[in-house]
Structure 1
């Protein structure tokens, strides 16, 4: 998957992106007072190959003028029938407020649908108000069964 939105390039993660992608996620979490947990919840960012690629998922990075400004990923989930979980959808402040988050979510959903999945699950924290608003305005329904300790919301959407 490789696409552009305004002056942003969305492309597959490469091993060279490991440190920068992890730093982006750590910075956004810190900005919102959410703990960075590289040995637990965020271990998947350090071990992208094992957590995403080897599991049949994808991890994307977002570039602006050659600099990484965001991440997004998904992998198959046992939560539902033909389900995936979207994870690590984070944008630095410079990339926010431009419709990129909505576009990114739409691209994830389109790719997920093309791959034959039918349900999308997302865990998040209430403090990430923009993310909550994006998911709710994009047709995600509140559900139960939060697994990540730092999350207090979970959403599901059935795709056509």
Structure 2
């Protein structure tokens, strides 16, 4: 992945991004009074090679003026049929409110569809109001079966047959 949205670069995560990407995730979680769990649910953000690359997923960073200001990724999951879960879609406050989140979600969906997955799952917390509004306005349907302790909502989107 390597694409531009306005003055922001979205690109594949590299090992040098490990600490700055993880710091963005933890800072956004703290902003919403959600705990960062490096040895728990956020383990994947620090172990991208194992959690994303080795499982057939992707992990991206969002860069603005040379600084990592966001993250997003997905990897295959057992839930559903030919399914992935979008994970760690976080943006620093300095780059929010200009359509970047919607653009990033659409780019993830396109990458996922290209790989012939059929379902996209997203777990989130209701305090992330901007995120839940984005998912609901992008065709994600509420579902059940939340697996992450800090999350209280789960959404699914069924992709059309593209084979």
- Which consecutive residues of structure 2, in runs of 5 or more, have no partner in the other structure? none
Q: 2:113 maps to which residue?
A: 113
* CA apart distance, 1:66: 1.1
Unaligned runs of 5+ in 1: none
Moved segments of 4+, more than 2 Å: none
1:99 counterpart residue number: 99
Note the alpha carbon deviations across 1:73-93, whole angstroms, 9 max, x for none: 000011111100000000000
TM-score (norm 1): 0.99
Cα displacement (A) at 1:109: 0.2
Corresponding residue for 1:138?
A: 138
Quote the residue 1:38 is aligned against: 38
User: Deviation at 1:65?
Assistant: 1.4
Q: Deviations over 1:136-159 (max 9, x none)?
A: 000000000000000000000001
Aligned counterpart, 1:5: 5
1:28-80 CA deviation, whole Å, 9 max, x = no partner? 00000001000100011111111111000000000111111100000001111
Task: Name the count of aligned residue pairs.
Answer: 160
Provide the C-alpha distance between the structure 1 equivalents of 2:46 and 2:70, rounded to a whole number of angstroms: 15
Q: State how 1:41-120 maps to structure 2 within 5 Å.
A: 41-120=41-120
Structure 1 CA distance, aligned partners of 2:41 and 2:32? Answer: 16
TM-score by length of 2: 0.97
Q: Report the Cα distance in structure 2 between the residues aligned to 1:68 and 1:95, rounded to whole angstroms.
A: 11
CA distance in 2, matches of 1:38, 1:65: 27
